[in-house]
Structure 1
Amino acid sequence: MSDTVQTARPESPARTAPDGRRRLVVLSVDAMSDVDVPFARTLPNFARILAGGWGSAEAIYPTVTYPNHTAQTTARTADGHGIYANEKVSPGVRVPDWFWDARDIASPTIFDLAKEQGLTTASVGWPVTGWSPSIDIAVPEIWDRAGLEQTLAVLRDASTPRGREYVDRHAGEISWERKQVFGRFNTAVATDILRTDRPDVLFVHLVDVDSARHSTGRFTPEVKEAFERVDGWIGEILDALEDAGIAEETNVAIVSDHGHVEVGRCFRGNNLLVERGFVRLDESGDVSSWDAWVHGCGLTGQLYLNPEADETTLEKVLALVEDWVEDPEIPVAAFHPLADMTEDYGYAGPFLGVLEGTSGTNFQNLWEGRSLYGRFDEDYTFLISQHGHLPEQDIQAVFAMAGPDIAEGVRFNRCTVPDEAVTFAHLLGLEFPEADGVVVEEILRVAVTG
């Protein structure tokens, strides 16, 4: 829930489209934090949105991309929407499948609500929108590590029929050097959709800032360059709204999903589970059977028990985790049982609970090599900064809006990511049947009544 308003609403009247129509564009700048706002204000297109209302936004647990982007379209925490991590728990799999599929979401999305009311919707690069049953034009975030050709095939398959037309038109905009880069592609598709289809609702995901932070650190020249690049893309999207003749009737939001924490070490809990016999390997070093598994989720790990394990095994696994917490050589600060996480954070998943790492500890699914890799180790080749920490820790995400229904110059202290989705629904005249948030009234030009 949002906190105290620091700036009063201006009394200027709202701009109204001739038919009273309202549209919504949501731009996710992945990993943008509230401490980035002073710099973002120096960039022309970020400044246009930040001139409306903005404040910090507390993420849901886990503070990773897919659960939070799903909260931004469902108004639910993971207990309600069911997307408990970026990747699905997959013991023994080095590269698990991600939650690509919109049909995995367990609660209604804003796209579902909009469809029921006859609104047209589109999404570009938005997580968990593959094979969407309700988005009119969906070009989801999805890739195949095998390469660009395979990625284009799965992207076409996961897109809606109209979305496939945009994939084919702009496939050349996907960059593929060492890994997939979709920022230029997502922007080209989004601007084309706005000019061609003029949807009532458009959600776009831009991930360059997050990628730069993972690979170079929280505040580096590369992160600055990523912000400047994203600012240019935001400008293209705002220009497309003008070209389509719908800028005056469109509320535009900038959201993000988490902050970042500098990484000091990488921890492979499954390596220790192998040592203690809870994970067993075959002659080739692959997992042959297992009793317990640590599902890495950024700066926390999720402790998973084999559904066929007996009570004795459960007791032994929990005792081992207690030893980890007490051992100063193992970077696990606490174990939080799932019931506590559900009560405190609205978190649920197929786990016993959550392993909280010591500050700057990144959890990995892997079991080979060593259990611990430090930043000063010669063979450290992992991320430089990461997220997945408990929501109240470290810097917060951002929620900003500008448009005909948004007051200008408003600064609020704090909202939550589910609050954003409730606010989006309110602006479109929609209502979620269940919500873990409330409207961020402080940024509205006209207060909520009733």
Structure 2
Amino acid sequence: MKFPFRPLWCVVAALGTGCAGLKPTTHPTPSATSAATHVSAAPRPAPLLLISIDAYRADYYDRGLSPTLGMLAKTGVHADSMQPSFPSLTFPNHYTIVTGLRPDHNGIVNNTMFDPKLGAFSLGNRKAVSNGLWWDEATPIWETADAHGLRTATMFWPGSGADIHGHHPDQWKPFDDSVTADQRVDQVLAWLDQPAARRPTFLTLYFDAVDHAGHRYGPHSTQVDDAIRDTDAALARLVRGLKQRHLYRRMNIIVLADHGMASVPLSHNVMMDKLIPLQDVHTVTMGIVAGFDPKPGHLHAFAAIEHTLQQPQQHMHCWDKSRIPARLDYGHNARVPQLVCLADVGWRITTTRYNATHQGRISVGDHGYDNADPRMQALFIAHGPDFREGIRFHAFPNVDVYPLMTHLLGIPARPNDGNYRDVEDMLKPVDR
């Protein structure tokens, strides 16, 4: 899902300051009572289209380059921002949005992971990404929708290409970054053109050009602006197609992002090989985060390395997983490495050798940092017959999207970390 030059071992997150105006995101550990009872009484819910614009930072909207989003916001709901879950990465947050579980609870704890039974997982490892065993610690909304008689279709949503609990969406496409934004839109419209018996009620659509441009050129580049314009043009094509099919006013549409983007100058490197003997640890990840596990027979050396790195460091913080700050809701899952080092916003954790061998392919924009940092905040706009019109909504955490969607579809929510009551005021009173 990322730009081809991007390192496959990249990013988790780094600590920073809180985001002004953002509600606290401390919700209970998943339980059957967490937003599980809020279901719509409507026997035939309006279709729901969930759209992700990868890395569309909340304040990108203020650049005035997205007239279609502006139209949806003016006649729908526009949140000040949506806070990603920690770590603010693509796969963890896309799976959080469709399960309501933070990465520490849904099992997708990073874009790059290691599991003793399953081996290595990374964005470019198609075999791992399509293996449902990596994803089966949670239940995505398309599985629940199908179980309750609603047909589903996903256009490239992370996780939808895996056989989770023996189940795929009714219709889905394996990820192919050569498929253009217009072609992705046309596929969604084609699914909606099917006879009623096959037509999906829940659909997803994924765009990644804004993310690619942000990584390669940085969030303040003209290339990001161009990608914002191009993606908005694809959304305009979608709206035209929905209007031609008389669906625009009958379909609920949620447009959001998984995370934001920050500038990372090429010179802002924490060289891990100059701090510890890397041959004494199993390196799980590098990038915005470094994650390490002990090597068999090296426990004493690992303990010494942990002691060293947990001392104050320049431009990063390191913890044993049991000591990661509670506000991040991270560190309990077995897939989280034993030692986690998080770069300060605007810095990366790397090695001398990696930098020397990847000249010209290192991202100058990145994410995965502290999920409360303003640069990590994501877009959220919603429009449709069940949403109120023309309101500005407060910032909220992305775990709340899941119970909102299950309510719109009239299906029971699985145990989750979200809180429907925090977002119900987006909806018209009759729909609560």
CA–CA separation in structure 2 for the residues paired with 1:397 and 1:249: 26
CA–CA separation in structure 1 for the residues paired with 2:162 and 2:284: 29
CA–CA separation in structure 1 for the residues paired with 2:415 and 2:310: 37
SS at match of 2:310: helix
Residues 341 and 101 of structure 1: is their aligned pair in 2 closer, same or farther, counting only changes over 3 Å?
Answer: farther
1:49 to 72, 79, 84: 72
Q: Is 1:100 the equivalent of 2:101?
A: no
1:388 maps to what in 2? 368
Gaps of 5+ in 2: 1-20, 25-41
Q: Is 1:291 the equivalent of 2:281?
A: yes
Larger Rg: 1
Residue 36 of structure 1: CA displacement? 1.6
Which residue identity does 1:185 align to in structure 2?
Q
Q: Is 1:112 the equivalent of 2:135?
A: no
2:329 to 346, 349, 353: 346
1:35 to 59, 65, 76: 59
Let me know the Cα RMSD of the aligned residues.
3.2
SS at match of 1:397: coil
Residue 293 of structure 1: CA displacement? 1.4
CA–CA separation in structure 1 for the residues paired with 2:200 and 2:140: 17
Q: Is 1:357 the equivalent of 2:338?
A: no
**C-alpha contact (below 8 Å) 2:321/2:336 kept by paired residues:** no
Identity of aligned residues (%): 20
1:12-411 equivalences in 2 (<5 Å):
20-40=44-64, 43-51=66-74, 52-55=76-79, 56-89=81-114, 97=125, 100-101=129-130, 103=132, 104-105=134-135, 106-132=137-163, 133-141=167-175, 174=178, 182-196=180-194, 198-264=199-265, 265=267, 267=269, 271-272=273-274, 276=277, 278-279=278-279, 291-296=281-286, 298-306=287-295, 308-322=296-310, 325-326=312-313, 328=314, 331=315, 333-341=316-324, 343-347=326-330, 348=333, 349-364=335-350, 368-369=353-354, 379=359, 381-395=361-375, 396-411=377-392
CA–CA separation in structure 1 for the residues paired with 2:234 and 2:270: 38
CA–CA separation in structure 1 for the residues paired with 2:324 and 2:175: 28
2:39 maps to what in 1? none
Residue 57 of structure 1: CA displacement? 0.6
Which residue identity does 1:24 align to in structure 2?
L
Per-residue deviation, residues 176-219 of structure 1 (Å, max 9, x unmatched): xxxxxx43432232222222353101111101111111111112
Which residue identity does 1:354 align to in structure 2?
V
Q: How many residues align structurally?
A: 374
Residues 268 and 96 of structure 1: is their aligned pair in 2 closer, same or farther, counting only changes over 3 Å?
Answer: farther
**C-alpha contact (below 8 Å) 1:269/1:294 kept by paired residues:** no
Q: Is 1:441 the equivalent of 2:411?
A: no
CA–CA separation in structure 2 for the residues paired with 1:341 and 1:26: 32
CA–CA separation in structure 1 for the residues paired with 2:419 and 2:120: 40
Which residue identity does 2:51 align to in structure 1?
L
Per-residue deviation, residues 91-140 of structure 1 (Å, max 9, x unmatched): 99999636623612211110111011110101011112213413001113
Residues 92 and 406 of structure 1: is their aligned pair in 2 closer, same or farther, counting only changes over 3 Å?
Answer: closer
Residues 185 and 102 of structure 1: is their aligned pair in 2 closer, same or farther, counting only changes over 3 Å?
Answer: farther
Residues 204 and 370 of structure 1: is their aligned pair in 2 closer, same or farther, counting only changes over 3 Å?
Answer: closer
CA–CA separation in structure 1 for the residues paired with 2:67 and 2:346: 34
